[in-house]
Amino acid sequence: MSGEMTLAESFEVTRPGQAPGRREAQAAVAIAGGLYLVGALLCTSALLLPNVDSPAGVLAVALDATLTGALLFYAAERAWGGLRLAFLADLWGVVVIAVLCASGGGAASPFALIYFFAIGHAAAFQPRGRVALVGLAGLIAFLAPLFYEAHVSSTFGAIACVGVVLALLSTVVIHLALSRVREQRRRLEILIAATAELDKSLDPAETLRTIAQMAVPDLAQLCIIDLLDGNGAIASTVSARAEGMPSATLEQTRAAVALPMIARGHTQAVISFWHRDGETHYDSGLRAVLEDLTGRAGMALDNAHLYAERAQVARTLRRSLMPAVLPAIPGVELASYFRPMRAGEEVGGDFYDVFADRDGCWLVVGDVCGKGAEAAALTGFLRHTIAAYARQGETPAQVLAQVNRAMLEQDFDGRFATAILAHLRIEAGSAELRLALAGHPAALLTRADGQVSELGSTGALLGIFPEPAIEELTTTLAAGDSLLLYTDGLAEAHAPRRIVTVEEMIERLTRAPRGRAQEGIDALLELIDLERDVADDIAILSVWVGGDTSGLLADGAQSGLPASVPASRG
C-alpha cells in the first residue's frame, strides 16, 4: 500500500476536529486557489499605478500566488495528494510571499497585502491541527515588513491590521459553517448506520436492544425504550447507557426528549433520550434527527413483529404437514430430520411421512415446487393422497401413478413435485423393500457390512406427464441394514458455493458408525454447516432393520416438533 494520502482518503473523515468530507474539502481547496489567483491579479494590477516601489518584487509576489493557486486547483480537481498537497501549497505561498515582501519591497503595495486575505480562507479549510501553522505563517507574512523596513507607512499599517482582522474573521466564520456542515453529515451518517443495523435483525427483542444501543453515546447518554401492550400499558423496558453514566441519575439530567414509536398508525413504544451534561441541549436539528431515527425504529420494530408472527404461522403450518412423532414399528427403528431454509419464515415444499399397515409400514419423502401457501396446499394434498392410495393395497409405483393422475385432475397451476415411496414388509430379522421414485434423488442403502450404494432410478416428475415412467424395485433388508431417504436440499444446502455430491454422502456413510437409524442422519449432516442458514429445506428419513424397537420414538418427539428436530433448529 502506498504511503501517499489521496484526496478521497484524507477528506472522508467527517467527525468534529478532523478533516471535512471529500466534497467540502474539494470546494474549500478550490475556493482558496481562486482567492490566490485573485490576489495575483490584484498584485499585477498594482504595476499599472504610478510610483510603485520594486515592480519586480510585486511581480514575483503575483507569480508565486499564481503558482500556489494552480497547485491548489490541481489538488482539488485531480484528487492527487489530498490535504497534504493543499497544505504544502498553502504554506509555500505564505512563506515565499513573506520573503519576497520583506526583501523586495512588494509589501509596500496595498494590492500585494490585500492578497493575504486569502490566507484566512485557506487556513479555515485546514484540519484544526494545521490551522495554527497556516495562521501563524500568514501573520508573519503580514508583519514581516515591520521588521525589515525602517519606515513603514501608515497605509501599510492600516492595511496590515485590516488584513489580519479579515483573515481571522474569515477563519472563524468558515470554521463555524464547516462545523455545522460536518455535524449535519455526522448525524446523517448516524441515521444511515442505524438503518443498516436495524435491517440486520428481525427479532423484536434484539431490535429493541439495537435501537437503544445505537443512540448511545452519539445522541444521548441514556436511552430508554418502554414497549407498550395492546392497552397502552408498559409491557417491558429496554435501556442503554453511556460508559460512566451512573444508574440513578434521572433526577440530575439536564436535557431529555421523549418520542412515540409509531408504525401503521399504532404507538408501539415510547423512546426517551437523556443527557446529564449541562452543555448538551436538543436543538431543532438534533430533534429532527431523533424524530427520524424514532420513525425508522418504529418501522423496524413493526417489521420484526410482523416477521415473528409470519414465522410462527409458518412453523404451525409446517408442523401440521408432518408427523409430530414417528410411529413405533416392531422390527425397525426410525429417525428423521427436518431443517427449514434460512430462518424458516416460509413454508417450504419438503415433507416426510411414515404410516403403518397390516404387515409393515410405508415411508415417503417428497419435495414440492415453490414456497408459501400454494406449496403448503400441494404438500398436504400429496401426503394425504399417498396415504389413501397406499392403504388400498397398491404397490409404490401404482400409488405414485395414482397421485400423478390426481394432481393433473386438481390442476395445481403447473406445480410439480418429486417423491420417493417405500414399503417395508417386516419379517423376523429382515424386511422386504419395495421402492419407487418420481423425479427424486435415489435412496442410500447401507448394508450391515458397511457397503453403501444408491437404490432406485430417478423416474419422472409428478404433475407433469399423464403417463409418467415410474419404475419399482424390490430387495431385502437384512438385520443391521439401513435405508436413507432425503430431499435435494441436503445436496444444495450451501449452493451455489458448494454442492454435496452423492459420492461424498456414500463415502461419509461408509465411515460412519452403524447400529442405529440416527447414525446415518448424523453422518450426512456432517457434510453441511449447521451453524449457517441453508439455501433449501432439508428432509431426511432413516430406517434401520434391527430387533424389536416397540415403543421407541424418534429424537425430538418430546418437544412437539417434527421428529428429531431439536428445538433450537425449529
Predicted confidence (pLDDT) at residue 344 exceeds the cutoff of 80:
no
* 174 close to 117: Cβ distance less than 8 angstroms: no
Q: Are 59 and 104 in contact (CB under 8 A)?
A: no
The per-residue pLDDT for 107 is 47
Asked if pLDDT for residue 400 goes beyond 80, the answer is yes
* Number of other residues whose CB lies within 10 A of the CB of residue 231: 6
pLDDT at 12 over 50: no
CB contact at 8 A, 47 and 59: yes
Total length of the chain:
570
* Selection from 324, 230, 226 nearest residue 269 by Cα: 226
CATH code for the domain defined by 335-546: 3.60.40.10
Q: What pLDDT sits at residue 214? A: 80
CA separation for the pair 66, 263 (Å, rounded): 59
pLDDT of residue 147: 56
DSSP string, 495-530: TTTB---HHHHHHHHHHS--SSHHHHHHHHHTTS-T
Do the Cβ atoms of 32 and 70 come closer than 8 Å? Answer: no
Instruction: Provide DSSP, 172-211.
Output: HHHHHHHHHHHHHHHHHHHHHHHHHHHTT---HHHHHHHH
In our burial notation (b when 16+ CB lie closer than 10 A, e otherwise), range 278-300 reads eeeebeeebeebbebbbebbbbb
Give the whole-angstrom CA distance, residue 569 versus residue 534: 11
pLDDT reported for residue 101: 59
Which pLDDT tens digit goes with each residue over 428-467? Answer: 889 999 999 999 999 999 999 999 999 998 889 999 999 8
Burial class of 229 by CB neighbour count within 10 A (0 to 12, 13 to 18, 19+): exposed
pLDDT in tens, 215-270: 888 778 888 888 888 787 888 888 888 776 665 555 566 678 888 888 888 888 88
Supply 394's cell numbers: 397398491
Largest CA distance in the chain: 127
Task: Note the pLDDT of residue 2.
Answer: 35
CA distance 365 to 369: 14
Taking the C-alpha atoms of residue 523 and residue 521, their distance in angstroms, rounded to an integer, is: 5
pLDDT score at 110: 47
Q: What's the pLDDT score for residue 353? A: 94
In angstroms, the CA 332 to CA 428 distance is 11
The pLDDT tens digits for 49-107 are 566 566 776 677 778 778 877 877 777 776 544 556 666 666 676 667 666 655 555 44
Residue pair 142/164 in contact (Cβ under 8 Å)? The answer is: yes
- Provide the phi-psi class of 216: left if phi over 0, else alpha when psi is between -120 and 50, else beta: beta
Choose the weakest-confidence range: 6-15, 44-53, 103-112: 6-15
3-state secondary structure 335-399: EEEEECCCCCCCCCCEEEEEEECCCEEEEEEEEECCCCHHHHHHHHHHHHHHHHHHCCCCCHHHH
Residue 117: CB atoms within 10 A of its CB come to 20
The rounded distance, in Å, linking the Cα atoms of 264 and 284 is 26
**What distance in Å separates the CA atoms of residue 367 and residue 539, rounded to the nearest whole number?**
9
User: 335-546: same fold as 201-316?
Assistant: no
Predicted confidence (pLDDT) at residue 483 exceeds the cutoff of 60: yes
Quote the percentage of the chain above a pLDDT of 70: 65
Indicate whether 356 pLDDT > 70: yes
Q: Is the pLDDT of residue 402 over 50?
A: yes
Domain residue spans of the chain: 7-191, 201-316, 335-546
Residue with cell 419379517: 427
> Which of helix, strand or coil describes residue 59?
helix
Give the CATH architecture of domain 201-316: 2-Layer Sandwich (3.30)
Is the pLDDT at 121 greater than 60? The verdict is no
The DSSP secondary-structure symbol of 100 reads: H
User: What is the average per-residue pLDDT within 313-324?
Assistant: 79
Q: Give the pLDDT of residue 4.
A: 33
Is 50 exceeded by the pLDDT of residue 332? yes
Distance CA 72, CA 66 (A): 10
Q: Please answer whether residues 201 and 304 qualify as being in contact, where contact means their C-beta atoms are separated by less than 8 angstroms.
A: yes
- Residue 535 near residue 350 (C-beta atoms within 8 A): no
* Cα 226 to Cα 300: distance, rounded to the nearest angstrom: 15
Predicted confidence (pLDDT) at residue 536 exceeds the cutoff of 60? yes
pLDDT tens figures, 501-535: 999 999 999 999 888 899 999 999 999 988 888 88
pLDDT for res 106: 46
* Terminal CA-CA length for the chain: 47
| Mean pLDDT, residues 5-24 | 40
C-alpha to C-alpha distance for 345 and 314, rounded to whole angstroms = 6
Q: At 368, list the grid cell.
A: 414440492
The mean pLDDT of the chain is 75
Run of H or E including 223: strand 222-228
> pLDDT value at position 52?
57
The pairing of beta strand 538-545 with beta strand 482-486: antiparallel
- Give the Cα separation of 248 and 19 in Å (integer): 38
